[in-house]
């Protein structure tokens, strides 16, 4: 008798739980600054959104949109800040005009390798420093995609000495662009979707965008003669999920932690994907007839000197940039001994 009564009671309770969960389920829009078909980086926010949805048992659904679906790519930060968009996905360095330290996190010339950048961000106090720069804009930042070392860029001019950079019209962003400018290059920021045409028409002589895995998909090898390494301007870099702070604060602590952990899973997945894909991409680039080269050491030394000067100048103009630079340099020095002790001789 007791067992027969329990079934309808349990059914009512289960229905109440399901109904309550459905009532609490929420949907949010997210716009990326990138097209969703861009290799590696394009699918990243969707992978994060899928993880969040699964880890919250469907309580949070995030509809991911590509560049330009709601606002132009370079207006995503402002839209998230104002609340016009609840969420965005970016390359952190795009917001350097509003947040100077974003330049450092987005592209520190001769900066940390990806593993050191990861350690500093989550264990070395980096995220706490950066968030204080975002707070006045009512934006929560979640580092969510760690980009490995980039290439040095695509060139239609051979680079043998630092003098060859003078008068070069180059698409290059961030602090690396400032360093290039100190050596006489004319730098500009061209949206990703316009780089190919700009190279093809001669509007620019050179361009950096990302690593071979991403670059090859844009077809830059069809309109340039040289592909230079290393990516001195961006040995590592961060893309992030940005969330309007009012939206972020509306989530309970468990959901906030879930979103953070989903980003950490994203970082691990994308690092593996990037390492796995570079060799094939470089082979494709060589097969198209592009010369794959390294910058001469003298050019790299000139770029390092120019970069150090740029970093010190920027630190004088913004206290949070200065704090982050000091912290990152100290962290790189302190953990650097580990890599030195573990270094194996070259074959």
> Is a pLDDT exceeding 80 seen at residue 287?
yes
Lowest mean pLDDT among 21-30, 135-144, 223-232, 239-248: 21-30
Band the pLDDT of 343: cuts 50, 70, 90: confident
Domain containing residue 266: 11-148+237-277
pTM comes to: 0.86
Could you tell me if 289 and 168 are in contact, meaning their C-beta atoms sit under 8 angstroms apart?
A: no
- Check whether residue 192 and residue 56 sit in a common domain: no
Provide the b/e sequence for 165-191 (b: ≥16 CB within 10 Å): beebbbbbbbbbbbbbbbbebebeebb
CATH code of 121's domain: 3.40.190.170
Q: What mean pLDDT do residues 316-329 have?
A: 97
Three-state SS at 144: strand
| Same domain for 199 and 86 | no
131 lies in some domain: yes
User: Which CATH number does the domain housing residue 187 bear?
Assistant: 3.40.190.10
> Is the pLDDT reported for residue 198 higher than 90?
yes
Question: Which tops the pLDDT comparison, 347 or 125?
Answer: 125
Q: How high is the mean pLDDT of the chain?
A: 91
Residues 30 and 162 in one domain: no
174, 213: one domain: yes
Q: Predicted confidence band at 124 (pLDDT cuts at 50, 70, 90)?
A: very high
pLDDT of 19 > 50? The answer is: no
In a domain, 250, yes or no: yes
Q: Tell whether 74 and 84 lie within a shared domain.
A: yes
Q: Is residue 150 marked as binding?
A: yes
Task: State yes or no: 209 annotated in a binding site.
Answer: yes
Number of folded domains in the chain? 2
- HSE value, Cβ hemisphere, 13 Å, CA-based, for 346: 0
**46 and 15 belong to one structural domain:** yes
- On whether both 51 and 182 belong to a single domain, the answer is no
Q: Identify the helix (H) or strand (E) that includes residue 139.
A: strand 139-147
Predicted local confidence at residue 24, as pLDDT: 64
- Residue 254, in any domain of the structure: yes
Question: What does the block give as tokens for 119?
Answer: 């350690």
d(CA 238, CA 301): 25
- Please give the C-alpha separations between residue 259 and each of 51, 61, 144, in angstroms, as whole numbers: 8, 12, 10
Q: Is 60 exceeded by the pLDDT of residue 274? A: yes
Residue 171 annotated in ligand binding: yes
pLDDT value for 195: 94
Judged against a pLDDT cut of 90, whether residue 229 lies above it is answered with yes
pLDDT of residue 347: 76
Mean pLDDT (whole number) for 116-122? 96
Report, as an integer, the average pLDDT of 247-256.
97
Asked if 30 and 63 touch (Cβ cutoff 8 Å), the reply is: yes
- 344, part of any domain: no
Q: Can you tell me the mean pLDDT for 42-60?
A: 97
37 and 138 assigned to the same domain:
yes
For residue 169, pLDDT over 60 is answered with yes
Kindly give the pairing relationship between strand 87-91 and strand 237-244.
antiparallel
DSSP helix/strand/coil, 46: helix
The Cα–Cα gap between 77 and 31 comes to 10
Q: Is the residue at 191 inside a domain?
A: yes
Q: What is the mean pLDDT of residues 9-37?
A: 63
Q: Is 234 annotated as a binding residue?
A: yes
Mean pLDDT across 204-221: 93
Shared domain for 54 and 196, answered yes or no, is: no
Residue 313 pLDDT: 97
Whether 194 and 255 have beta carbons less than 8 Å apart is answered as no
Judgement on whether residues 187 and 265 belong to the same structural domain of the protein = no
H or E element at residue 28? strand 26-32
Mean of pLDDT values over 329-344: 90
Instruction: Identify whether residues 265 and 285 lie together within a single domain.
Output: no
Residue 306 lies in a domain: yes
User: Is the pLDDT score of 132 beyond 70?
Assistant: yes
DSSP letter string over 48-92? HHHHHHHHTTTSEEEEEE-TTSSS-GGGHHHHHHHTSSSEEEEEG
**Together in a domain, 295 and 196:** yes
Is the pLDDT at 18 greater than 50? The verdict is: no
For residue 307, tell me if it sits in a domain: yes
Q: Please tell me the predicted confidence (pLDDT) of residue 4.
A: 39
Give the least confident one: 46-55, 313-322, 334-343. Answer: 334-343
Is 180 inside any structural domain?
A: yes
CA 23 to the chain's CA centroid: 35
The separation between CA 311 and the C-alpha centre of its own chain, rounded to angstroms, equals: 19
Residues 6+ apart with CB under 8 A from 146: 114, 117, 118, 236, 237, 238, 239, 267, 270, 271
Average pLDDT over residues 91-107: 94
Percent of the chain with pLDDT strictly greater than 90 = 80
Mean pLDDT of the region 59-74: 96
Which residue in 237, 178, 234, 239 sits closest to 208, CA to CA?
A: 234
């Amino acid at each position: 008798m007791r067992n027969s009564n329990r079934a309808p009671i349990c059914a009512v309770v289960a229905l109440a739980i399901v109904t309550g969960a459905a009532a609490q389920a929420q949907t949010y829009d997210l716009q990326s600054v990138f097209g969703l078909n861009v290799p590696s980086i394009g699918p990243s926010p969707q992978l994060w959104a899928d993880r969040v949805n699964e880890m919250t048992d469907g309580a949070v659904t995030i509809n991911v949109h590509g560049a330009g679906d709601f606002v132009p790519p370079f207006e995503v930060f402002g839209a998230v800040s104002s609340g016009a968009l609840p969420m965005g996905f970016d390359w952190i360095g795009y917001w350097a005009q509003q947040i100077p330290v974003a330049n450092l996190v987005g592209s520190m010339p001769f900066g940390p390798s990806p593993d050191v950048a990861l350690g500093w961000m989550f264990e070395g106090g980096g995220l706490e420093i950066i968030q204080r720069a975002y707070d006045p804009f009512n934006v929560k930042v979640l580092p969510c995609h760690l980009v490995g070392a980039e290439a040095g860029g695509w060139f239609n001019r051979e680079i043998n000495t630092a003098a060859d950079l003078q008068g070069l019209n180059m698409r290059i962003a961030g602090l690396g662009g400032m360093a290039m400018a100190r050596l006489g290059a004319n730098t500009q920021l061209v949206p990703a979707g316009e780089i190919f045409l700009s190279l093809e028409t001669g509007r620019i002589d050179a361009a950096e965008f990302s690593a071979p895995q991403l670059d090859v998909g844009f077809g830059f090898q069809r309109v340039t003669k040289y592909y230079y390494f290393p990516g001195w301007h961006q040995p590592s870099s961060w893309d992030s999920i940005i969330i309007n702070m009012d939206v972020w604060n509306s989530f309970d602590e468990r959901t906030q932690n879930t979103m953070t952990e989903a980003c950490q899973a994203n970082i691990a997945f994308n690092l593996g994907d990037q390492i796995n894909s570079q060799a094939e991409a470089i082979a494709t680039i060589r097969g198209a007839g592009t010369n794959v080269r390294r910058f001469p050491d003298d050019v790299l030394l000139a770029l390092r000197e120019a970069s150090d000067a740029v970093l010190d100048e920027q630190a004088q103009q913004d206290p949070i940039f200065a704090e982050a630079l000091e912290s990152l340099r100290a962290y790189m020095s302190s953990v650097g001994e580990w890599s030195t002790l573990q270094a194996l001789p070259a074959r």
